[in-house]
A and B are shown apart, each in its own frame.
Chain A
């Protein structure tokens, strides 16, 4: 990616594997440079991150109480 100019497509393909990649590493400098000058890339990446966060926030659930009894009953063993 050294000689070719970075395009939005490159940003997306690179970042998407690791949304929180450290963009200050030398390898990412050209990508960071593109993002800094490209409001659409900034907005798009932000919306992808928010999509993931929403699904991390909701739902939060726990196993119903007494599940273990039902499992033991299915297995026909005594607890």
Chain B
């Protein structure tokens, strides 16, 4: 079982130049090289096949139309993530998925007091290899837990911890400051951990 984050190389400069000039074959190759990245990211955010497909299509329509504005000051993948992220956020707003999500600020961080409660012992989580504990019950739990997160927290968690982008790049993608990314990530992790805690300790 590999837990490694997939790396996505930057497109070939020549390919990008041809695509920018309106070469359809070059654009098609760009789509083929990055459609899994875009679809899988969109799916992880919205947990829905139809919405992820729609987001994939909208994202590449945007890429095609805006490609001549891409100025190489950022990496192509950073630019691509910011487009797909915008599409995910727009779609969420449209369907009001966020109505179901909780107010994350009401979730206390652990250790907000200096030390753990002296008499509190935090129960240990299962140690079985995690791919072996994966079943439909846990999958549902994972889906439900992440969907309770407000989408801007959810996206920070997915970019940083699942996709393995740096705090700096995540800040750039979301037009946030690095400390804002870090604070959202902290709360998102703690929230998800709380959601899974009962299942993983029983």
Which residues of A pack against B, CB within 8 Å?
7-9, 11-12, 16-17, 38-41, 43-44, 46-48, 50-64, 67-68, 70-72, 74-75, 77-79
Contact = CB atoms under 8 A, between A and B. Distances in A.
B35 A43 contact: no
Interface in B4-27: 5, 24-25
A54 B196 contact: yes
Given A9-B113, A48-B193, 16 more contacts: A9-B114, A16-B186, A17-B167, A40-B120, A52-B161, A52-B162, A60-B40, A61-B40, A63-B35, A67-B53, A68-B35, A71-B31, A71-B57, A72-B28, A75-B64, A79-B25
A51 B25 CA distance: 41
Given A55-B161, A57-B130, A58-B139, A50 B125 contact: yes
A63 B28 contact: no
Q: Is the interface of A mostly helix, strand, loop or mixed?
A: helix
11 contacts: A9-B113, A12-B111, A40-B116, A43-B122, A47-B122, A47-B200, A48-B190, A51-B189, A55-B157, A71-B56, A71-B64
Contacts of B115: 7-9
B89 interface: no
Nearest to B164: A56
A69 B14 CA distance: 23
